[in-house]
Structure 1
Amino acid sequence: MIDDTLYLKAAAQILRDPLRPFDFAVNWYGWREPFWDVFKNPPGVAYWLAAAEKLAGTREIVLHAAMLPFVVASVLAGVGLARRFAGDSPFVTTLWVASPAFIVSGATLMADVPSLAFSLGGLWLWIRGVDMDAPRARWAGAFLAGVAVIVKYTAIVSVALLPLYALLAARRARGRVRLLADLAPAILPALGWAALTVATSGRVHMLDALTVTGGGLDPVADWPLHRGIALLTFIAGAGVFPLIALVAAPRTRWIPIVAVGLGVAAAVGAPSLWPREGLRPGAVPCVGILATIGAWALLTVLADAVVAVRTGEPTDRDSLFLGAWIVLQVAYLWLWSWTIAARFVLPLLVPLAFGLARCLGARPEIERSRRTNVGLALISGGTLALGIVVLFADGRAGDFHRRAVPAIVRQAGGREIRFLGGWGFQHYAEQAGLHRVDARAPDLRPWELIVQPYYTTNNRIPAALDGRLKRVGNLAAAMPALGVQTMNPQAGAGFYSSVYGPLPFFPARLPADGVAVFIATPE
């Protein structure tokens, strides 16, 4: 559980007042502030979760089951797009579906997979409508792509793919104008959401969400290197399948040289961008290897797109489109995103899988090769195995929080308990009736207990409490599966945010998480 907690809070508010989904306050960063200013996503998933809670209750199994349709829809849309760009091999889709990025993201309550489902479904319908000259398919595709934007704002990057494909496919200017006019349904969902926020609050949430600490209009100082290194390592680590770029026939001889150079630069630069104590033995070489693979994969597909520009053959327009798709996603992640995360990289993995499969000979105009199919199946199987390991490892912290909080409450014997830290720990703590410490005004009474998780965000003890807290207990989780850490600054692992480390996951003999218990002494 990371930002799942915020989606659940929005869902609870929707059940109270469906027209004002963000009209309440929350303590997320350590102090209470309007939810509007904290939450940088639209309410699409929150409305869906609210409906699920209304119909079937708030049990976790119910909520996770409610997200399964989006997982299935993503896969089905991916299959349709794979047939269009990479032939009928089923293993082209399994390349990215088996990735840790998709498997873990599909198990959350966040917007990443639902947004992907609408984006891919909309793109598939749009392309089908353009290729078959079917206006209704284009309208439906444009509308679905627009719905993706009110599920996750960053899906606007995928909306840009619709006119791009139309411009590449239409040979005459008149045809292009007609196709572009069919994009109108794409703006309807965002207009509806904007109208609702203006009517109820006098503001447009989409515009306010442009300001995100560390990204967008408010980047950190070292963002070009930080995001650049993490982007390459996460492409390889959270995707795994980009490994096949190493065996794809290179379009140019300079690809391996540039990729290795970028990998070496990433390994050299990582210790100056992330805390050295968090980079365990082997982490820096791993950064270099993954960055090399990530760069190699990107350059391989982009080189194929460049060749398509030079030849100008109609069959090569697909390579050009996939290259442009990748460039758009990379531009967003590197130039705008506040962090690099496996779930943020996920939309990039889809065209990357198609492009790499094409470089291996999986193209609609080429007869399917048994050798290519076997290779894609093997890499998919290996990717799936690792994805399952990461999924179980990632769930260990949430399982610990679910059990630890009630255990601490029982042992407290009725004593007042406050807590620090956010994410899933906050959800379970508040569910148990605990109140979060206000970091700006920590008004603690003597002998109150304070619990502090090891690794969750915003868990620092306020300076005003220095000298007042005495540690009286500690509860640690077991080590996750194979020691794989996904969100641990002591292991350089930042699956959900590269702020925690330059790698999506890394093995370390550390607990999945833990909780320190303090008691407040008299001033």
Structure 2
Amino acid sequence: MMLPFTRIPRLAAYEVQRDLAILVVLVAACAGPFLGQPFHLDDAFYLDMARNARAKPLYPNDTPYVFEGRRLADMGSHSHPPMQTWFLATVSLVAGEEPGREWVYHVAALIYPLLAVVALHFLAARFVERPIWAALGLAAAPLFLVTQHTLMADVPTVAFWLGAVSSFIWAVESSRRSLYGLAALLLALAVLTSYQAVAVIPLLGFYQWRRGRARAGWIALAAPLAVVAAWFALGFLHYHRFLLADTLGYVWSRQPGTWGNLAVKLSAVLQYQGWLVVFPPFLLHVVGRGGRGRVLALALVASVYLSAGLIPGYPLGQKAVFVVGIAGGTLVAAAMAALGAAALRGRSAALGFAPLEAGFLALWYFGVLAYSVLFLTEGSARYILPLVPPFVIYFVRRLEVMEVAEYRLESPAVIGSGMAASGALVLSLFWGLALAHADAEFARIYPRAARDVARLRPSGDAFFAGEWGFRHYLREAGLRQLPVDEGEVKGGSLVVTPALALPYEIPRGLKSMLVPLETLGYEPATPLRLQDARSHAAFYSTGWGGRLPFSFSTKLLETIEVRQVNLLVEQLPWAAVESAAEHGPWPGYLALHERSPLGLVARPDTRVVYRWSPEARVIFEMACGVSPDAYAPGEDTEFEFEVRQCNAAGAVLAGSSLSLRPGTRERDRDWQPVVLELHSAREGAETLELRYVSGGGRGIGVFASSVLRKPK
């Protein structure tokens, strides 16, 4: 029978120093290629709050904020407490916020994955003979490899969680007060990083109840509760509300407890387990041995039927991803359930775990599983990160039991414990690095988009309407967040929206004045997708479309729409109008050759003068057309369109005219382009003048699709 360590692993021991050196080198080597990864997903939010924290350290979320198009008075009820914000605020004091400083933040954040794997090494020594294998399993877990390259709170939470559990377990075993104090500190840091980390307190309370003897254990568990209570009290005094009330209201509005949402979240959690902890073939081989092979067979059959109900329209390859993930995840859950059942019966589990050890690991696993499925709003791989350590410990213990059993075999197994252990580690590592590379490619889209938009941007304002890295990098490029008050957006301004990065609704009035300027498409260098509604990938959230932990696609991942507020339409109320008709020009549409762009519609003999000039030279483009009822085939009626830019004295600085004879020239029955370079206000430009004249005195003319472009 193999036994775990009976003494606390000490740093002075050579084996421990060797193991820790291996872990540090592995984590650093895996992080190296991604240190320059652009800020990604909710990193932008944490950086915004960190900026505010430098001015208001006690209330880092006390700042007005527009999130997904909604104006909020403050972010005090954000779903995470302030520890990660404080950390980033501290880093920003050294790194600053200049472009290209991402690597400094990622280097600083390496403290978290290092703490996590080191803490798991010490914790696993209480449960398995070779704790380094458990720590290596966490370091190589694809889920861990992907999430450690963001600045969000997930890996910090797990790091403090594991540090607290390891310290507390060994404090109970050794009765060392210093370890109780360390556990209390790390527990406080964990619950100040994520409210979900409160779940670790009853977990450790269970261990203290079953094995603890010192009152110091209960004091250590009470300390983080006092810290959270103090945080809520401080928030109530400042904001005059219970901070979690709005958070819980938002969660409730998403209806997390409906049967449909529960099914989606459970299937997502199972798939994340099946694909993102241990590479699936080794997971199925090691955990599915013996009687659990029948569980695996049933899980495969059930997942095939489940795929028909949950993802009926998915291609066959995507259904295969779903089936393998569900089968693997079900096997994991069944194995941990068997562990818990043995503990409930008061018997040692087949793996040699004592009832307390088995019960502790099972309670840990199912506690995280329960809150992920029952209380969180959608499925997300990063939500289940805290349940990876107990399963990794279980997996290593199964490998150790396999090793002992192999000594009794007359002939060696085809895939022995050594091959399974090394194969699981190496292939999980490569699979995780492939996923991390795909995620980095995803993150790199938005700095590229910001550069592309900057090249397109003419003089004047530009606004964005989206979140994630899109928000961060477009603001870095000088764009402003689209204001809730659409009246602040003037003619000629750009409005840039993503397809994937949570675009928010543009006010109806403003949307009606937008004309297309450019569509930018981005396809990563790898076909592997982590978040893509079109290929059903949902690593980060099932709420953004998709039901799979990953997918493959060769299509565009992100599409950026660059549109411009039609200057002629938006500025019309302030323009001077001269018209022979009773009614002046108006915004509208004219269909010519199946195209009906937004334009300024004018009756014959109309002159419109805009008191407007650009800040710098721009190219003014538009298309002019005449309504079909203005002429008859063969009729030689002439229709004139003229655009002029003048200075204060009325002198023409730039001008262009267009003469159309649609009755005799068939090409003039379609839209005809007008292109003109406009001078800047510094060059004396003051007005923009449009004129439409009809030789026959009838029919409407349209100045359509007017846009301002940056000169090349």
Equivalences for residues 230-241 of structure 1 within 5 A: 230-241=268-279
Tell me the TM-score normalised to structure 1 length: 0.90
Once residues 311 and 79 of structure 1 are traced to their aligned partners in structure 2, the CA distance between those partners, rounded to angstroms, is: 27
Equivalences for residues 203-214 of structure 1 within 5 A: 203-213=241-251
Distance change in 2, residues 1:359/1:339 (3 Å)? same
Once residues 407 and 111 of structure 2 are traced to their aligned partners in structure 1, the CA distance between those partners, rounded to angstroms, is: 30
Partner of 1:246: 284
Given candidates 108, 114, 117, the residue that maps to 2:159 is: 117
Shift of 1:449: 1.7
Once residues 465 and 343 of structure 1 are traced to their aligned partners in structure 2, the CA distance between those partners, rounded to angstroms, is: 37
The 10-residue stretch of structure 1 (49-58 or 192-201) with the greater mean CA deviation from structure 2? 192-201
1:435 aligned onto 2:480: yes
Once residues 343 and 51 of structure 1 are traced to their aligned partners in structure 2, the CA distance between those partners, rounded to angstroms, is: 24
The CA deviation string for residues 318-351 of structure 1, in whole angstroms up to 9 with x for no partner, is 1221111111011011101112212111111111
The CA deviation string for residues 91-141 of structure 1, in whole angstroms up to 9 with x for no partner, is 222223212211121111111111111110000000001112223312321
Given candidates 267, 292, 297, the residue that maps to 2:327 is: 292
The residue identity in structure 2 corresponding to 1:304 is L
The residue identity in structure 2 corresponding to 1:270 is L
Distance change in 2, residues 1:311/1:283 (3 Å)? same
1:470 aligned onto 2:515: yes
1:183 aligned onto 2:221: yes
2:461–2:494 contact (8 Å) kept in structure 1? yes
Given candidates 139, 144, 147, the residue that maps to 2:189 is: 147
1:267 aligned onto 2:307: yes
Partner of 2:340: 305
1:119–1:159 contact (8 Å) kept in structure 2? no
Partner of 1:202: 240
Partner of 1:56: 95
Partner of 1:322: 361
Partner of 1:27: 66
Q: Name stretches of at least 5 consecutive residues in structure 1 with no aligned partner.
A: none
1:242–1:297 contact (8 Å) kept in structure 2? no
The CA deviation string for residues 56-101 of structure 1, in whole angstroms up to 9 with x for no partner, is 3232111111211111101101111222222215222222321221
3-state secondary structure, aligned to 2:455: helix
Partner of 2:536: 492
The residue identity in structure 2 corresponding to 1:492 is H
Distance change in 2, residues 1:57/1:379 (3 Å)? same
1:491–1:506 contact (8 Å) kept in structure 2? yes
The 10-residue stretch of structure 1 (155-164 or 66-75) with the greater mean CA deviation from structure 2? 155-164
Given candidates 489, 495, 504, the residue that maps to 2:549 is: 504
The residue identity in structure 2 corresponding to 1:222 is G
Distance change in 2, residues 1:71/1:442 (3 Å)? farther
The 10-residue stretch of structure 1 (12-21 or 106-115) with the greater mean CA deviation from structure 2? 12-21
The 10-residue stretch of structure 1 (42-51 or 316-325) with the greater mean CA deviation from structure 2? 316-325
Distance change in 2, residues 1:92/1:376 (3 Å)? farther
Q: Name stretches of at least 5 consecutive residues in structure 2 with no aligned partner.
A: 1-39, 409-414, 570-586, 588-712
The 10-residue stretch of structure 1 (114-123 or 461-470) with the greater mean CA deviation from structure 2? 461-470
Partner of 1:127: 169
2:184–2:220 contact (8 Å) kept in structure 1? yes
Equivalences for residues 399-418 of structure 1 within 5 A: 399-418=444-463
Distance change in 2, residues 1:261/1:163 (3 Å)? farther
Once residues 67 and 357 of structure 2 are traced to their aligned partners in structure 1, the CA distance between those partners, rounded to angstroms, is: 44
Once residues 554 and 129 of structure 2 are traced to their aligned partners in structure 1, the CA distance between those partners, rounded to angstroms, is: 44
Partner of 2:574: none
Once residues 505 and 33 of structure 1 are traced to their aligned partners in structure 2, the CA distance between those partners, rounded to angstroms, is: 33
1:67 aligned onto 2:85: no
The residue identity in structure 1 corresponding to 2:192 is I
3-state secondary structure, aligned to 2:109: helix
The residue identity in structure 2 corresponding to 1:392 is H
1:347 aligned onto 2:378: no
Shift of 1:425: 0.4
3-state secondary structure, aligned to 2:58: coil
Tell me the TM-score normalised to structure 2 length: 0.67
3-state secondary structure, aligned to 1:322: helix
Once residues 243 and 396 of structure 1 are traced to their aligned partners in structure 2, the CA distance between those partners, rounded to angstroms, is: 27
Shift of 1:42: 0.6
1:86 aligned onto 2:131: no
2:256–2:262 contact (8 Å) kept in structure 1? no
Partner of 2:318: 283
Once residues 189 and 367 of structure 1 are traced to their aligned partners in structure 2, the CA distance between those partners, rounded to angstroms, is: 50
1:520 aligned onto 2:565: yes
The structure where helix makes up a greater share of residues is 1
The residue identity in structure 1 corresponding to 2:247 is A
Partner of 1:396: 441
The residue identity in structure 2 corresponding to 1:16 is A
Shift of 1:194: 2.2
Once residues 63 and 400 of structure 1 are traced to their aligned partners in structure 2, the CA distance between those partners, rounded to angstroms, is: 19
Shift of 1:432: 2.2
Once residues 133 and 291 of structure 2 are traced to their aligned partners in structure 1, the CA distance between those partners, rounded to angstroms, is: 23
Higher relative contact order (CA 8 A, sep 6+): 1
Once residues 441 and 108 of structure 1 are traced to their aligned partners in structure 2, the CA distance between those partners, rounded to angstroms, is: 33
Distance change in 2, residues 1:348/1:98 (3 Å)? same
Partner of 2:145: 103
The CA deviation string for residues 267-298 of structure 1, in whole angstroms up to 9 with x for no partner, is 123226xxx4xx44521232122111111111
The residue identity in structure 1 corresponding to 2:58 is L
The structure where strand makes up a greater share of residues is 2
Equivalences for residues 38-49 of structure 1 within 5 A: 39-49=78-88
1:448 aligned onto 2:490: no
Distance change in 2, residues 1:493/1:252 (3 Å)? closer
Shift of 1:196: 2.7
The CA deviation string for residues 166-206 of structure 1, in whole angstroms up to 9 with x for no partner, is 22325xxxx38664344222224313322332332233424
Distance change in 2, residues 1:310/1:341 (3 Å)? same
Shift of 1:456: 0.8
Once residues 253 and 486 of structure 1 are traced to their aligned partners in structure 2, the CA distance between those partners, rounded to angstroms, is: 30
Distance change in 2, residues 1:487/1:462 (3 Å)? farther
User: Percent same amino acid at aligned positions?
Assistant: 25
Once residues 507 and 364 of structure 1 are traced to their aligned partners in structure 2, the CA distance between those partners, rounded to angstroms, is: 37
1:245–1:300 contact (8 Å) kept in structure 2? no
Once residues 238 and 167 of structure 1 are traced to their aligned partners in structure 2, the CA distance between those partners, rounded to angstroms, is: 33
Partner of 2:662: none
RMSD: 2.8
Partner of 1:159: 201
Distance change in 2, residues 1:204/1:502 (3 Å)? same
How many residue pairs match? The answer is: 513
3-state secondary structure, aligned to 2:542: coil
Shift of 1:484: 0.8
1:246–1:293 contact (8 Å) kept in structure 2? yes
